[in-house]
């Protein structure tokens, strides 16, 4: 898959520094250590040059939402930076489970039993055990992926206890027209009662709020890489 070139001039290093400073300030205001918060830089839709700029600035943790795009973009970047870490933050089709396991270090979008079973099977075959987050559809939006809040406990139990997946935490994408804090608080509560310590929540517009509610992973795209070019 080819990507439109990222034409807009953007200083990725300066943006990374600013977002990191804001994360540190938000953590401090919440009485937390900035070291507990991982910045996942979301380069989806941007060409490899943008990601290279972040790598050159010392950043190593990235998020992408399409297996196909990553298969084209990341092999060369991994070669030059074997220590980079890649999170899948978009929906995963069951028939791409194996490919996703080969490419990603963390799967943040574990969202249905069929996918959990496919991943468990492929993990055994490949002898790879990526870390997973269960995606919760906190706003119960029909068009959005994720497990319903009241089904999350049972789904976590299936993934973790029955299938042996490494479930580290929960992830959510709040509805765009609602106060995100309510969703962040809900995610924190569901994680707590399931003994999960990691929370992936917060994007460019609301990562500081998410940190106030306990985010351990914030997924930030636009504030680092600029506006995404239109999909070809
Ligand atoms: C695109 C995307 C992000 C980053 O969004 P920005 O608003 O550009 O920071 C974060 N999480 C998910 C799941 C995404 O798809």
Kindly state the average pLDDT of the residues 211-223: 98
The backbone torsions φ and ψ at residue 77, rounded to the nearest 5 degrees and listed phi first, read -65, -35
What is the rounded CA–CA span in Å between residue 232 and residue 216? Answer: 33
Q: What is the pLDDT of residue 6?
A: 54
The backbone torsions φ and ψ at residue 106, rounded to the nearest 5 degrees and listed phi first, read -135, 135
- Verify whether ligand 1 is closer than 6 Å to residue 42 (CB atom): yes
Is the pLDDT assigned to residue 5 strictly greater than 70? no
What is the rounded CA–CA span in Å between residue 232 and residue 95? Answer: 24
Give the model confidence (pLDDT) of 87-131 as tens digits: 999 999 999 999 999 999 999 999 999 999 999 999 999 988 889
- Verify whether ligand 1 is closer than 6 Å to residue 119 (CB atom): no
Give the model confidence (pLDDT) of 143-180 as tens digits: 999 999 999 999 999 999 999 999 999 999 999 999 99
What confidence tier does 231 reach under pLDDT thresholds 50, 70, 90?
A: confident
- Verify whether ligand 1 is closer than 6 Å to residue 87 (CB atom): no
Is the pLDDT assigned to residue 132 strictly greater than 90? yes
Give the mutation target among 209, 221, 222, 231 for probing the ligand 1 site: most ligand atoms within 8 A of CB: 221
Q: How far is the CA of 124 from the centre of ligand 1 (A)?
A: 30
Q: What is the pLDDT of residue 3?
A: 58
Q: How far is the CA of 65 from the centre of ligand 1 (A)?
A: 9
Is the pLDDT assigned to residue 1 strictly greater than 50? no
Q: How far is the CA of 89 from the centre of ligand 1 (A)?
A: 8
Among protein residues, the one whose CA lies closest to atom 12 of ligand 1: 89
Give the model confidence (pLDDT) of 13-27 as tens digits: 999 999 999 999 999
- Ligand 1: nearest atom to the Cα of 65: 15
Q: What is the pTM of this model?
A: 0.96
Q: What is the pLDDT of residue 230?
A: 86
Q: How far is the CA of 125 from the centre of ligand 1 (A)?
A: 31
Q: What is the pLDDT of residue 26?
A: 98
* Residues in Cβ contact with 211 at an 8 Å cutoff, skipping those fewer than 6 apart: 23, 26, 27, 30, 32, 37, 202, 218
- Ligand 1: nearest atom to the Cα of 207: 9
Q: What is the pLDDT of residue 92?
A: 97
Q: What is the pLDDT of residue 226?
A: 96
What is the rounded CA–CA span in Å between residue 178 and residue 77? Answer: 37
- Verify whether ligand 1 is closer than 6 Å to residue 44 (CB atom): yes
Q: How far is CA 197 from CA 70, 79, 207, in A?
A: 28, 32, 18
Q: What is the pLDDT of residue 9?
A: 81
Is the pLDDT assigned to residue 227 strictly greater than 80? yes
Chain-wide mean pLDDT for the chain? 95
- Verify whether ligand 1 is closer than 6 Å to residue 220 (CB atom): yes
């Amino acid at each position: 898959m080819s990507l439109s070139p990222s034409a807009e001039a953007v200083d990725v290093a300066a943006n990374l520094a600013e977002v990191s400073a804001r994360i540190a300030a938000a953590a401090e205001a919440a009485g937390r250590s900035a070291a507990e918060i991982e910045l996942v830089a979301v380069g989806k839709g941007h060409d490899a040059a943008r990601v290279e700029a972040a790598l050159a600035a010392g950043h190593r943790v990235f998020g992408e939402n399409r297996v196909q795009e990553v298969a084209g973009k990341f092999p060369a970047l991994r070669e030059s930076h074997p220590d980079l870490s890649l999170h899948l933050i978009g929906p995963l089709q069951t028939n791409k489970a194996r490919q996703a396991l080969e490419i990603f270090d963390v799967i943040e979008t574990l969202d249905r039993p069929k996918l959990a079973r496919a991943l468990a099977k492929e993990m055994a075959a490949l002898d790879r055990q990526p870390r997973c987050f269960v995606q919760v559809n906190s706003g119960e939006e029909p068009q959005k992926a994720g497990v319903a809040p009241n089904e999350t406990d049972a789904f976590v139990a299936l993934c973790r206890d029955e299938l042996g997946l490494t479930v580290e935490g929960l992830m959510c994408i709040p509805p765009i027209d609602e106060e995100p804090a309510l969703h962040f608080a809900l995610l924190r509560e569901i994680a707590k009662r399931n003994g999960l310590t990691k929370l992936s929540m917060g994007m460019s517009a609301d990562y500081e709020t998410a940190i106030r509610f306990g985010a351990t992973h914030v997924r930030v795209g636009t504030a680092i890489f600029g506006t995404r070019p239109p999909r070809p």
